[in-house]
Amino acid sequence: MPTLSSHTSAGGLADRAFNGYLGLPRAGRWLVLAVIGFGGFTVLDSWAWPLADKLSSRADRLETVLQRASQRADGLPRDVREAAVAFGPNAVLGDEASGKERLTALIAEIFKKRNISQGQDVRPGQPLPSSIAQTLGSISDAKLGKTVAELQFKATPDAVLAIVAELEASPEVDAIGDIRLDYDPKDKRVGVQLTVEKWGFQTGAKGGGA
């Protein structure tokens, strides 16, 4: 197979192009160089470098994910372990409205199966500080809020504590706020006032927060 030097078939065109370039006046040569330089920079700046940045950012993100996963594989921090033990399972934060629905459904189910009537006041949309949203990795910069259900009921001590434990253990409840238990010796029942919280991102709301 013949060896093609830079001046052979393809080289003919290159030769002519180069000779044509040499035939240009000095200003024309500078102009050609400037056009080539600007075109090259435009290609790099508008396509190559942004693409490289995008891919590099993705690789950095994947590396961070792997590093964190590896660290977690070695064991969770003590405070997280203790919190998980104390609060029970939780769930990934979702839409506040759907969280409210699930919370009310859970409350209804718990009380229904014990045949207990409860007083209930569900107040959605109470904002949480924006710092919490940042901590919780709100990628959409959505506002974080909580649905607070205030419950009042009266039941036997066993039932009361079972209800409290079941509420707190449910992933549909992120936390139990204040609780007040009052034993009534007359009917041997415990009166309960407690608040139950479910956190979630408020759809359509951006940033801010109290």
Which residue shows structure tokens 């409205």? 97
The rounded distance, in Å, linking the Cα atoms of 134 and 71 is 21
The rounded distance, in Å, linking the Cα atoms of 102 and 197 is 12
Cβ burial, residue 68 (10 Å; 0-12/13-18/19+): exposed
Q: Which is nearer to another protein, 121 or 182 (CB)?
A: 182
Q: Helix 96-113 to helix 157-169 angle, to the nearest 10 degrees?
A: 150
**Residue 58 phi, psi (nearest 5):** -65, -45
The distance of closest approach from Cβ of residue 165 to another protein in the complex, given in angstroms and rounded to an integer, is 4
The distance of closest approach from Cβ of residue 122 to another protein in the complex, given in angstroms and rounded to an integer, is 17
The distance of closest approach from Cβ of residue 137 to another protein in the complex, given in angstroms and rounded to an integer, is 5
Give me 74's structure tokens: 């070695």
The distance of closest approach from Cβ of residue 205 to another protein in the complex, given in angstroms and rounded to an integer, is 18
